[in-house]
Structure 1
């Protein structure tokens, strides 16, 4: 499937303490500095961290010695665990676990799992450039504390999976998403046993191809009926691939470029040519008929343009033309432009990252207990499914698994970036309008509620050119940043200026999404402040004064 090849390119706050840490610019609590034993990673802590014991000590990461990071990132654990309990199991997944730094929730028995997409893309890049405790964004000189790190809300573990991804070990052996989910269940059982998390609530979050991973793994967790290990409480996916390539890309692409024609900068003739193809393929009529509220009925199993190469290449034709007008065009965020930004993570548009890749450095591998023999890549060149064509032919998760998770948990959030040209909002909406959950098909009402992100108190003085308040090192927006909607256990949220990687492009919005997933706020339209002590006194607008959402649907 062509979409998998494109997705395979993807690599891709407020303090919670009353006494700031002297070692951390944000005042985030950290364990005491550790004595240096010479190798920088196997030192024993001066005082025992929360999860440090005989079973976990080999995974302990010295938060003061991460290369290039000049502050203590706090308590964390990293390494590999096998995907089963079989003696001699050689297949292992890699994890990096950060216990929460939120003092009010230290005793909460809950954990968030993060899965990057691909298939075969490493979750380590999300730690570095999206929602981890330290952030090294493209175009910046060095890491900085992330004021919207998810571990400020809950315990979070970032996982490289399936086998063949990132720092994982072994040879790919799975053939479909069901086998992937069973492989992950085996790893997760070992993780729970190692860290003593029996009976904990589990939340799964991810992006892109996690639209397949997340619902399948979640569904297998639910079906296990084992709350000691698999007590799934909710699912959050950014810009996920839940449906078919045609629904996600080819059908919605022309309405998308018409909406953003000032950004795409196509000529009138080029735009007319794309529209003519879309009309000839039946895409325009299909889009107009089925993207309505409530939907007119179930969509046909046979999509328009199915056996026409011109139709099934429409999205790729648009992308190629966009790259001609803007050589640095980024389908994951259409607002990007030249030049390519330097990054130590991975530039998905310019592969010349070479020896500068942070997670391929020997000292980084040593610090986080990754195998020195594993060649880390943001996304693997060797596909992770052992099928004849190396592709995943599993049925789209939107047919069965995603509705199953919604009906069971009543807590699923689909978060979409308004300027993501890879997995477009209205393609996801078209899929939702053909999905049955809660005994009805699709949303019955048009999404139009405001998505509100609280004011954290950050202010920029244009006279003195100085910033004050929370998050001055990585400021993020607030106010009505998009549109949200909720029906029958499913929440949709579209953030206007977010690209494909939601937590990277809109970190404060993603922070709010996680609060909603964890049940800390009642609604994404709520004007409650962020649930962290440092921002509780920041004045917010009154309920009912926000107006409508800022992302029109459709």
Structure 2
């Protein structure tokens, strides 16, 4: 993929019981602070008016657009007006016999958003639905883990721009057809074909500033898609300005999972709660596998040269798959252990999309996007059994492309006006220290890696203070977000929103 109470407040509550009036005042003050912070960021909820007046006026002259119109007052189980949107299936080419189609859902901007920009969002997997991003991350509707009902997403990216969610590649979500791609270049070609069909129906979006965004395995998708667009500028009537990838898959698993895994456990030892003998085993095996001192020996600012892989191949050597060893042990200690956000414990929160933690789990049936009334409302095929992540391989023989850090990512950074890599520090499935290794081993704009340390710059979130680290050099912005898991817009929406504002040029810095 794949409200919070501060520890300080909990400590105060433990020290001295509060009266009912004091508790009410505390909640009221909290609401007022949130309201004031929203005003300072110039954010207004996109939805909530029966007329849809919370959305900027946008019309499409092609009669076909009406086939995809979604009435924002009639989305099942959503008791507020989302405003107009458009969704449905479009083919990946103009061939008359084309049967492969991708499902999309397009939202215009809210009153504070820009009509000059278009954000594309894709989830990863490969084969995981971008409707998860829409409903639980950065869309105008928020129905995240544990929420009893859908609510307005105050930090929706539609407060910045219009946004297009696409379930891709073929074989993902509601999308139609038999997967036939074997690599990222073919994926990009099919998606560009879809974009061409989309712009023919919604032609008023032609010429917009375009931003490619996504998370997880989209860290592989997005650089290849961007590279294809930059190499074929006449193929798409959009101005590609930049990209965002969060908790991204950029290199081999041995780099982003195995090397940093034991160090991650030591950093969060009180979360994992392993016994001393097991910790000794992990630390000894990490040293034997060449992981323990890897960061100290190779990761410097500036780098001293290209980094070697720790083993004999791009895979973990026998006995050195420590990530899986840690995961299995973590589940014994905490059966609710969540690789996407390590702080989760019992009870496992219910999820309207059926994927609340490390594993799929259907706690309510049908899942939201399998309800017939939902499918009808968004023009989705009624005969598809929707799952958040596909049960089939969306690449015929797995993805044969090399990770983008070794191929297209450096040139895509160089050609972008703004390039962003974001990482949640509580993510175990892809670990931030591994992403640091990737960056420091990559050469772009004439130099290898960052020349000065990342930790020198704090990432400040409006009204919250320091919430991680950030660093920019030679066109690449890197941001680490404390407390956030794998899905940064879900687990730290305010932080993600600030970074997205910077991506589109609405802030001088992602940091406050």
TM-score > 0.5, shorter chain as reference: yes
Whole-Å separation in 1 of the counterparts to 2:375 and 2:318: 45
- SS at 2:89 equivalent: strand
Which residue in 1 is equivalent to 2:15? none
Counterpart contact for 1:282–1:304, Cα < 8 Å: no
**Counterpart position of 2:132:** 125
Question: Deviation per CA, 1:43-80, whole angstroms, max 9, x where unpaired?
Answer: xxxxx853365131000001000000111001100011
Q: How does 1:110-189 map to 2 (within 5 A)?
A: 110-189=117-196
2:401 is the counterpart of 1:394: yes
Which residue pairs with 2:71 in the alignment?
A: 62
Query: What SS does the corresponding residue of 1:485 show, helix, strand or coil?
Result: strand
Partner of 1:436: 443
With over 3 angstroms needed to count, the CA separation of the structure-2 counterparts of 1:303 and 1:293, relative to structure 1, is farther
Quote the residue 1:360 is aligned against.
370
- Partner residue in 2 for 1:265: 273
Report if aligned partners of 1:83, 1:91 keep a CA contact under 8 Å in 2: yes
Aligned alpha-carbon RMSD (Å): 2.1
1:194 counterpart residue number: 201
Q: What is the Cα deviation at residue 227 of structure 1?
A: 7.6
Are 1:207 and 2:215 counterparts?
Answer: yes
Query: Which runs of 5 or more structure 2 residues have no equivalent in the other structure?
Result: 3-37
For 2:344 and 2:316, locate their aligned partners in 1 and report how far apart those are by CA, in whole Å.
34
Is the 8 Å Cα contact of residues 64 and 201 (structure 2) preserved in structure 1? Answer: yes
| Deviation of the 1:114 alpha carbon | 0.3
Q: For 2:230 and 2:55, how far apart are their aligned partners in 1?
A: 35
Cα separation, partners in 2 of 1:290 and 1:230, compared to 1, 3 Å: farther
What is the TM-score with the length of structure 2 in the denominator? 0.88
The residue aligned with 1:510 is: 496
Query: 2:482 — aligned with what?
Result: 496
Asked if structure 2 preserves the Cα contact closer than 8 Å seen for 1:289 and 1:296, the reply is no
Q: Distance in 1 between matches of 2:47 and 2:370?
A: 33
Please tell me whether the aligned partners of residues 109 and 161 of structure 2 are also in contact (alpha carbons under 8 angstroms).
yes
**C-alpha deviations, 1:416-463, integer Å up to 9, x for none?**
0010011110000011111110111111111121112223xxxxxxxx
- Distance change >3 Å, CA 278–CA 103, structure 1 → 2: closer
Contact 1:16 1:28 (8 Å CA) reproduced: no
Aligned CA distance change for structure 1 residues 89 and 248 (closer, same or farther; 3 Å): same
Quick one: which of 239, 245, 248 aligns to 1:240?
248
Compared CA separation, residues 435 and 96, structure 1 to 2 (3 A): same
Aligned partner of residue 486 in structure 2, secondary structure:
coil
Match of 1:524 in 2: 510
Contact 1:224-1:230 at 8 Å conserved across structures: no
* 1:371 has 2:378 as partner: no
Contact 2:55 2:108 in 1 (8 A): no
SS of 1:483's equivalent in the other structure is: strand
Quick one: distance in 2 between partners of 1:99 and 1:30? 7
User: CA separation in 2, counterparts of 1:30 and 1:508?
Assistant: 21
Q: Does 1:309 align with 2:318?
A: yes
Q: 1:318 to 1:228 in 2, by over 3 A?
A: closer
Partner of 1:29: 54
Shift of 1:301: 5.6
- Normalising by structure 1, we get a TM-score of 0.81
**CA distance in structure 2 between the partners assigned to 1:155 and 1:19 by the alignment:** 11
Q: Contact conserved, 1:200 with 1:228, CA < 8 A, in 2?
A: no
Aligned residues: 470
What is the SS of the residue equivalent to 1:492? Answer: strand
Contact 1:52 1:60 in 2 (8 A): no
Provide the residue aligned with 2:105 in structure 1. Answer: 96
Structure 2: how far apart are the matches of 1:404 and 1:227? 19
- Say if 2:46 and 2:158, in contact at 8 Å, map to a contact too: no
Distance in 1, Cα, partners of 2:114 & 2:210: 15
Is 1:479 aligned to 2:465, yes or no? yes
